């Protein structure tokens, strides 16, 4: 059960607390996306023992590759590092809820768990708009933990879109 401080919200959350440090690493990675004009999303793949296998940030604008999402890049790098396409037991930590492409890649790579910060109510596929990762018709369903450092993950996205006067995320 979560203990609550009336002034500051949850003090401890046994489900989300272990993921705060890797989420901060994902946030650092997300900041690397903006100089190239990419949406600030960062991802980290952790081995089953919690070791960082890889990181990635959005590089669509930088590379001209529509599949260069943070999650895809981090998954590719982790697979190359372990020498296999199956990332059994691994966790992907990402600042924004994965889209359908990335959710499909999570299922296909057999990632055990996806942890994300900000909800993506317009394109999210891990519980908000769609729930690809937990679709019972698929052969693999990763555990989903959402809302880790949600406000800290949302702010760079809001600032990115506000600065470009596209939308208020």
Q: Distance between CA atoms of 152 and 109, rounded to whole angstroms?
A: 28
153 is in an annotated binding site: no
Query: Which one of the listed residues 29, 59, 71, 97 is annotated catalytic?
Result: 71
Q: Helix 20-31 and helix 150-163: axis angle, to 10°? A: 10
3 annotated active-site: no
The two three-digit tokens of residue 54, written as one number: 């890889």
Q: Which residues pair with 22 in a beta bridge?
A: none
Q: How many CA atoms lie within 13 A of 164 on its CB side?
A: 13
The two three-digit tokens of residue 87, written as one number: 């990332």
The two three-digit tokens of residue 108, written as one number: 């296909």
Would you list which residues are annotated within the binding site for Zn(2+)?
Answer: 69, 99, 102
Instruction: Just list the catalytic residues.
Output: 71
């Amino acid at each position: 059960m979560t203990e609550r401080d009336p002034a500051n919200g949850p003090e401890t959350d046994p489900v989300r607390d272990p993921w705060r440090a890797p989420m901060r690493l994902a946030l650092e990675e997300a900041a690397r996306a903006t100089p190239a004009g990419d949406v600030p999303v960062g991802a980290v793949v952790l081995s089953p023992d919690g070791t960082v296998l890889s990181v990635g940030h959005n590089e669509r604008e930088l590379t001209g590759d529509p599949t260069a999402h943070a999650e895809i890049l981090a998954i590719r790098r982790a697979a190359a590092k372990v020498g296999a396409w199956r990332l059994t037991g691994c966790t992907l930590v990402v600042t924004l809820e994965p889209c359908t492409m990335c959710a499909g890649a999570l299922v296909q790579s057999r990632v055990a768990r996806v942890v994300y910060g900000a909800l993506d109510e317009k394109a999210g596929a891990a519980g908000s708009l769609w729930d690809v990762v937990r679709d019972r018709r698929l052969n693999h369903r990763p555990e989903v933990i959402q809302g880790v450092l949600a406000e800290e993950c949302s702010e760079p996205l809001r600032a990115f879109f506000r600065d470009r006067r596209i939308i208020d995320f």
